[in-house]
Structure 1
């Protein structure tokens, strides 16, 4: 499977508080994007810790994960990370109140499982469509879901960045998880809101169809987000699920 991770500070922010990566083992590919928040430098601590913790857990997976087991693994891993981030913030005054979004995907030829908390997004893309697999855990999206405002109104709402859920909170994180069966050359795109707030689904599809490689697609998406303002950090992880690789050997 072809995979790429890229992160850009953007045009305005002095610090990149996003983290993420592509992590491979014998069972598949784990893609992760986390967008940190909190006091001075605390956001990058939260996002970096989250990615490092979930990467370490992925390295220690020994059993072959089927779809149901993958969802269970994601849920348990995210709950453990949430507890760790919360306790670390309580024990370190400089990090008090820190938190992070998280979107993570386990990608295999048989299934794709995507988990999220916060407003970092997961998309599944093929030649015919761009499908948003995640729902933002945000105040504005709750208004959209209840029918109080339209999706168009949500794009310019003054409380657009107000999150209802994030990692680093007391109690359960309770991430949302979905699983689909991929087609050949299905692309999984995970991104922070620095990308999704600036690049439309139609633009994502257009760039994907024009790009020869995932690396080119990633560069083009980040460039477009910056051209549209680049006010936030811009981070993405993408995986193309192809069936012509050697069985059991993620590339």
Structure 2
């Protein structure tokens, strides 16, 4: 029996957003997690993909998203702020908690974006992805941290991560900042490995964002759905004319907390 796709959507911090997650067609447990939350620093988006084949992958994904949220939400506004530093410290906490639970080796990817209406900050470790789009073009922002992405790497090695939360030693996440807020897509590999960039862009032109994420999950499942599937989208509410090819969700949206 296939699982039910979980979908949420709303408006917060000047952005319309929608997110969906699905267990897929072959897995018995959804080890992905996601969040969209308003913070004093801006609107925080994150996706995490717990490491399959390792104990407590689902717990690791949830832990990563919630701990990142806690770090962003409680960072003193008068101090300098780094998503990369927060994520590096999160790696140590996740390892300690996993050992305390008796499941050393638990790990997860984490890709997050923070939108404040002026800038887009992002942090990334693993092989989930962040894309940006302007209404016509799609651009991959992050680089996959797996052996397939290394020089001479083979696609069959895509499931071997070179960086993840839970890894031993010092973690050095990728991070960046865009001067202008743009529409974004965050996705785990269960989505992007089975939906082409062209189909991804075409589907975003659905009549509303909840329908867009639902159709993206359906596309991944129609390709076999071998993995958990998670995706979230966001568009600036103020950019309605700029993103004329995209419809804004109708009805009363549910705001992020």
* TM-score, L = length of structure 2: 0.82
**Aligned equivalents of 1:32, 1:241: Cα separation in 2:** 17
**Per-residue deviation, residues 72-104 of structure 1 (Å, max 9, x unmatched):** 4211210121001111222332x2211000000
Write out aligned runs for 1:113-124 (5 A): 113-124=121-132
Q: Is the 8 A contact 1:123 1:131 kept in 2?
A: yes
Match of 1:138 in 2: 146
User: Per-residue displacement from partner, 1:33-88 (whole Å, max 9, x unpaired)?
Assistant: 000015565100111111111122222244179xxx5xx42112101210011112
Would the aligned equivalents of 2:54 and 2:105 in 1 still touch at CA under 8 Å? no
Q: Which SS does the other structure have where 1:158 is aligned? A: helix
Q: Which protein has the bigger helix share?
A: 1
Structure 2 CA distance for partners of 1:202 and 1:64, relative to 1, 3 Å: farther
For this pair of structures, how many residues does the alignment match?
A: 228
Q: Is the 8 A contact 2:54 2:107 kept in 1?
A: no
Q: Is the 8 A contact 2:40 2:73 kept in 1?
A: no
1:225-240 residue pairs with structure 2 within 5 A?
Answer: 225-240=220-235
Runs of 5+ unmatched residues, structure 2 = 1-14, 241-254
Match runs of 1:29-40 below 5 Å: 29-37=43-51
Give 3-state SS (helix, strand or coil) of 1:89's partner: helix
Q: 1:102 and 1:27 mapped to 2: Cα distance?
A: 19
1-side partners of 2:227 and 2:96: how far apart? 27
TM score, norm. by length of structure 1: 0.84
Match of 2:23 among 9, 15, 38: 9
- Match in the other structure for 1:87: 96
The equivalences for 1:45-194 within 5 A come to 45-63=59-77, 69=80, 72-93=81-102, 95-143=103-151, 148=152, 157-182=155-180, 186-194=182-190
The root-mean-square deviation of aligned C-alpha atoms, in Å, is 2.1
**Which whole-Å deviations, capped at 9, do the CAs of 1:196-223 have from their partners, x for residues lacking one?**
11111111111112x1222111111111
C-alpha change, 1:74 and 1:212, in structure 2 (3 Å) is same
Distance 1:124 1:50 in 2: 23
Alpha carbons of structure 1 residues 62 and 212: separation in structure 2 relative to 1, 3 Å: farther
Structure 1 pair 61–216 and aligned structure 2 pair: CA distance change class (3 A)? farther
Show structure 1 runs of 5+ residues with no match: none
